Amino acid sequence: MDNIEYLFAGFAVFWAALFIYLLTLQARIRSLHREIEHLEERLAASEGVTAPASRDLRGAPGASGGAPARGTTNS
């Protein structure tokens, strides 16, 4: 029984879907990290003006350990 084209199609669909998923996910991660960096810079700038009152408020409850700890403020 020769049905190798269906085998090829099955694997192709799986891999194509996986790579599309990973690419969109990576694009989303990258834009989110860029935005986080940008927002942190803005926050650091405003911190220079106003009193650094609520430093621990930044981020969600328990933001530590969430996003990889890069792009911290460069003040």
Partner 1 sequence: MSTLLLRVYDWRWSVLPPVTGIAMMAMIVGALVAAPREIIEGEVQRLMYLHVPSAVIMYLAFSVTAFASVMFLWKRDIRWDALARGAAVVGVFLCGMALATGAIWGKPIWGVYWTWDARLTATLVLFLIYSAYLLARSVAGPLDEQAARYTAIFAIIGVADIPIIQMSVRWWRTLHPQPIVFQPTPALPTEMLAVLALGFIAIAALAAWLIVLQTETERAAQRTSALRAEIDHREIA
- Return residues touching partner 1 (CB under 8 A): 1-4, 6-7, 9-11, 13-14, 17-18, 21, 25, 28-29, 32-33, 35-36, 39-40, 42-43, 46, 50, 54, 57-63, 65-68
- Minimal distance, residue 35 CB to partner 1, in Å: 5
Supply angle C-alpha 41, 46, 49, rounded to 5: 140
Closer CB to partner 1, 54 or 74, in the complex = 54
User: d(Cα 50, Cα 27) in Å, to the nearest integer?
Assistant: 34
Provide the H-helix boundaries in 1-75. 4-49
